[in-house]
Chains A and B, each alone.
Chain A
Amino acid sequence: MGFLRHKHLLGLENVPIEDIQTILDTAFTFREVLDRPIKKVPTLQGKTVVNLFFEPSTRTRISFELAEKRLSADTVNFSASASSLTKGESFKDTVQNIEAMKIDGIVMRHPVPGAPIHLTKYVDSVIINAGDGIHEHPTQALLDMMSLKEKFGELKGLKIGIIGDITHSRVARSNIIGLKKVGAEVTLCGPPTLMPLGIEELGAQINYNLDEVLNWADAVNILRIQRERQGVNYFPSVREYRALFGVTKERVEKLDKPLTIMHPGPMNRGVEIDSDVADSENAIILDQVLNGVAVRMAILYLLLGDKPPEDKD
């Protein structure tokens, strides 16, 4: 089953460009469904999808859940804190128990990189990665690409800046990989302490001067910043972060062309992004949220659906 090259969506790394194209095209047709008064199609009737969340997440889980419901799939939510799992029942037992209940697909969010790849060894269901540690978050990158495509019509040749903590960002990783595949240019900007070694090898450039990046870019994806991670401070203060890497009203106003603003949420207003910027007409942050549902519907359908895309109602 499935209309894509691979059975699962584990990351964008192994997704060929044709499949990215198919996902985005399908997402746009589902986007039309979302604009109808009755936003539901029977596409996945009779299929069961488990949302397996080993890490707290509201947005992504709701987005997936909504996508599943709009496609008429049966959904079950399973949330567990990672700490209880490290001690008690093993990961393998947990997932095998869930699969024993006859399910078709698993949407998994997990704090450990590579966990979805791990999961493929223990279950037969279709697996969709909803974020694995700092590794990948493919549906987020796809919804970002969809939003860019909606805005610009074409992804090829677009200049995209990604601003913030690159080291700990699965959003950044998947975005770099995806955007490179479709022929966009990517420049990363953030404190050097949060720039991972060898990230250029994924095809991105690094520029530590935010004003230069904002001037160069057609759109910027601003990442949520966290000053402390497991007791380690990666930059001295929020004030200094904002001074160097905050996308402020003043910075944006100085630009001589409009700059499209994206943020995967949740935002720290006044830290990595100013409220005026986030709420400006060039911001497509809320479109990203809506497109998120459409992209997830597309992926669920392409991986779990029975009928080819053309015959879809």
Chain B
Amino acid sequence: MKKLLSKRLPPLFHIKNGNIIDPFRDKEFVGDILIKNGKIVEVGEKIEVTDEVAVCDVQGLVVTHGFCDIHAHFREPGREDKETLTTGSQAALAGGFTTVCVMPNTDPPLDSPESIRFICEKATDLPINILPIGTITKGMKGRELSEMSAMYEEGAVAFSDDGLPLVDGGVLRRALEYSSRMGVPIINHAEDPTLKLTGQMHEGRWSTKLGLIGIPYVSESIMVSRDIQIAGFTGGRLHVPHVSSEKSMEYIRNAKDEKWLVTAEVTPHHLYFTDSDLEGYNTYLKVAPPIRTEEDRQALINGLKDGVIDCIATDHAPHTVEDKESPFDWAPNGMIGLETAFGASWYVLFENKIPLRKVIELFTVNPRRILGFELDLFRYGVEAELVILDVEKKWVFNEDHIYSKSRNSAFIGKELLGYPVGVISTNRFYSNDETFFSKYMT
């Protein structure tokens, strides 16, 4: 297995001269962070340390909260040939993530308290926080509710049948009502199968040109609209994953105006690519929901600008090379995304003049707020979860940058902006940059 370089932190670790971005207090300053036995002691403009201390001067680099991904598929149990919790953790660290929520569409699905416990126990030895999402319905069949309360007690942080939509509005209603006492969201993969049919890519001029059956944007927006109305009606907490179309944005905007408990995420690949990129039938760009038009892409960017979309989530979906080498219609949906998430997003958002501080929020406090996690990672006594970023680095992503067990990334060969050079998590220092690592960790 491919692993990042890593070393246990010295008892006292002093990060100096970083461009510190505190997304919780919305502050940015040049300063220091002091970590003792893996926990935050102090964050400030200049920290005087008298004890013997290991110093890490990160002048010119950004230091901020470790990233949080609320939508990843680690394929364990069932498809360990694609990804495991262990390999997925390495991919996460390479992308600057210290917390990842894993989707329950495994084999078998995470639809019982036992399966949630299985993930939580496995995750205790891993270098990042892995938090399971439980299914909404038993066996992801869309009919009977899973034992949400028992799963919540075992550590489930949200509920979703992701990969499959909840077609039955009554089931969604009861799920939203039932989960409201736990205060965790229901995440519904919004694609109406009666409108999607056997669609393979966004329906429009490119699907017509390529002769691929189209997936109309209404297949998403109609379900987003329905879900939001049910959320408004029940007062339940709804999270809309991987928004892909301009029309869906209208409904989410409306829900926020109504002050309903609705949040939304967008993936880096929906921000970076458009349907015209499918010319050549690259199966790595086959995702669900599909990559849509330039107008949709602009709407998503605007949604991030004005806060209609709360956060960025990867929808990291590993598949084997063999699976993705199939002809287009037979290839499975999804691409890996942890390693490229920040570089791809910052590349697009920088071009669109969204300030860095705002982009950092989309990866840190905003996703954590959706799931009710600790927001102030610079608070005294908190387990240190930090990422060190070179935000000016332009780089071309290639297979060597992949730590996932799978390689299905459409970003291979693409230019990205911003590189996570180091991560602090579970009292260890991680890096995939040898020069950087050896400078501080010898």
Contacts and interface: CB of A to CB of B under 8 A. Distances in A.
B208 A198 contact: yes
Interface centre among A113, A132, A135, A230 (most CB of B within 10 A): A113
Given A113-B281, A201-B209, A232-B197, A133 B329 contact: yes
Given A86-B330, A232-B197, A114 B322 contact: no
Contact of A113 (B197, B203, B211, B326): B211
A38 interface: no
A230 B327 contact: no
A92 B213 CA distance: 23
Interface string A79-92: 00000001000111
B150 interface: no
Interface in B178-224: 197-198, 200, 203-205, 207-214
Contacts of A109: none
A65 B350 CA distance: 57
A115 interface: yes
Interface centre among B207, B210, B212, B214 (most CB of A within 10 A): B210
Interface centre among B204, B208, B281, B328 (most CB of A within 10 A): B208
A55 B327 CA distance: 14
Contacts of B210: 113-114, 135
B205 A198 contact: yes
Interface in A102-135: 110-115, 117-118, 132-135
Given A230-B198, A232-B197, A199 B329 contact: no
Given A114-B281, A117-B280, A198-B205, A132 B211 contact: yes
A121 to B, nearest CB: 8
Instruction: Tell me whether chain A's interface is mostly helix, strand or loop, or mixed.
Output: mixed
A230 B199 CA distance: 12
Contacts of B214: 196-197
B203 A197 contact: yes
A211 to B, nearest CB: 26
B208 A113 contact: no
A117 B281 contact: yes
Contacts of B280: 114, 117
Contact of B329 (A111, A196, A232): A111
B211 A134 contact: yes
Nearest to A92: B325
Interface residues of A, number: 27
A170 interface: yes
Nearest to A121: B325
Interface string B329-349: 110000000000000000000
A113 B328 contact: yes
A198 B325 contact: no
Contacts of B327: 91, 110, 112, 114-115, 118
A192 to B, nearest CB: 14
Given A197-B207, A232-B197, A114 B212 contact: yes
A112 B209 contact: no
B326 A91 contact: yes
A179 B280 CA distance: 23
B205 A90 contact: no
A8 interface: no
Contacts of A110: 327
A90 B325 contact: yes
Given A90-B322, A118-B281, A134-B213, A196 B328 contact: no
Contacts of B326: 86, 90-91
A232 to B, nearest CB: 6
A202 B211 contact: no
B32 to A, nearest CB: 52
A144 interface: no
A31 interface: no
A296 interface: no
Nearest to B212: A113
Given A86-B330, A112-B328, A118-B328, A198 B211 contact: no
Nearest to B214: A197
A198 B204 CA distance: 6
A136 interface: yes
A118 B197 CA distance: 24
Interface of B: 197-198, 200, 203-205, 207-214, 280-281, 322, 325-330
23 contacts: A90-B322, A90-B325, A91-B330, A111-B329, A112-B329, A113-B200, A113-B212, A113-B329, A114-B211, A114-B327, A115-B327, A118-B327, A118-B328, A135-B211, A135-B212, A196-B208, A197-B207, A197-B214, A198-B205, A199-B208, A201-B205, A201-B208, A232-B197
